Structure 1
Amino acid sequence: MFASLFVLLYVAHLLSDYPLQTDHQAAHKAGAGACGWRANIAHAATHVLVTAAALAAGIAVLGLDVNPIVAVAGIVWIGATHAVIDRRWPVARWMAFARQAEFAQHGGAAHVDQTAHLTALVIAALAVAGLS
C-alpha cells in the first residue's frame, strides 16, 4: 500500500505546486506580513484539498484500506510541512548549514525545497500505510 499512497501523494503534490499554484502565491508565500501568510496558507490549503481528493480516489478506485484518522493526520502533516518549507527560511538555513552557498546561487534552493517536500510525503505515506 505504501507505493500506491506515495504515488498518489506525489501526483497531488505536483498538481498543487505547479498547475494549481497561482503566480500570486508563488511570488508572495514566503513574504512577511498578512499578504505573505494569506498566500502561504492558500497554497497549503490547495495541497490539503488535492491530497484529500487523491486519497479519496485511491480508496474508491484502488480499494485502499486506510484508517480515516490516520489519513486526516497525514493530510494535516502535508499541509503543515508544506507551509513551513515554503516560507523559504528552512531551505536557506539548511543550505547555509550544509555549506551550499554556490549551489544556492545556481538554483539549488528549488531542488532542496522539493527534496524537503518529498521527504514529508514519504513520511506521510509510511505513516498512513503502517498505521492503517
Structure 2
Amino acid sequence: MFAQIAFLLYVAHMLADYPLQTDHQAAHKADKGGEGWRANLAHAATHVVSCGVALAVGAWLLPDVRLSAGPAALALLWIGASHGFIDRRWPVAAWMKIARQTKWAQHGGAAHVDQTAHILALAVAALAFSV
C-alpha cells in the first residue's frame, strides 16, 4: 500500500505545485509579513486539498488502499505544515549553505533541493498509512 499512497501523494503534489499554484502564491509565498503568510498558507492548503482528493479517489478506486481517519488527518496535517515550512525558502537556503552548495543554489539548484524535501515529506506521510 505504501507505493500506491506515495504515488497518489506525489501526483497530487505535482498538481498543487505547478498547475494549481497561482502566480501570486509562487511570487509571494516566502515574503515576510501578512501577504507572504497568506500566499504560503493558501498554497499549503491547495496541497492539503489535492492530497486529500487523491487519497479519497485512491481509496475508492484501488482495492488495496485502505484509509482510516486518524492517519489520514495526521498525514494531511503533516503535508500542509511541511510544505508551508519548506516553501518559506529559508530552510532550503540554509541547507544549501550547510551542504556547501552555494554555487549550485545560484544556478537553479534550490528548486531541486526544494522538490527533494517535499518528496521526502510525502514519503513520511505515506509511511503513516503503512505502519
Q: TM-score, normalising length from structure 2?
A: 0.98
Within-5 A mapping of 1:1-132: 1-63=1-63, 64-130=65-131
CA drift of 1:65 comes to 1.2
Structure 1's consecutive aligned runs of 4 or more residues displaced over 4 angstroms after TM superposition are none
Distance in 2 separating the partners of 1:74 and 1:22: 24
Determine if contact 1:5/1:129 at 8 Å carries over to the other structure: no
Paired residue secondary structure (1:116)? helix
Give identity over the alignment, percent: 62
How many equivalent pairs are there?
A: 130
Determine if contact 1:66/1:129 at 8 Å carries over to the other structure: no
Output the amino acid matched with 1:105: Q
Distance in 2 separating the partners of 1:58 and 1:120: 19
Paired residue secondary structure (1:31)? coil
Distance in 2 separating the partners of 1:66 and 1:78: 16
Q: Alignment RMSD, CA only?
A: 0.6
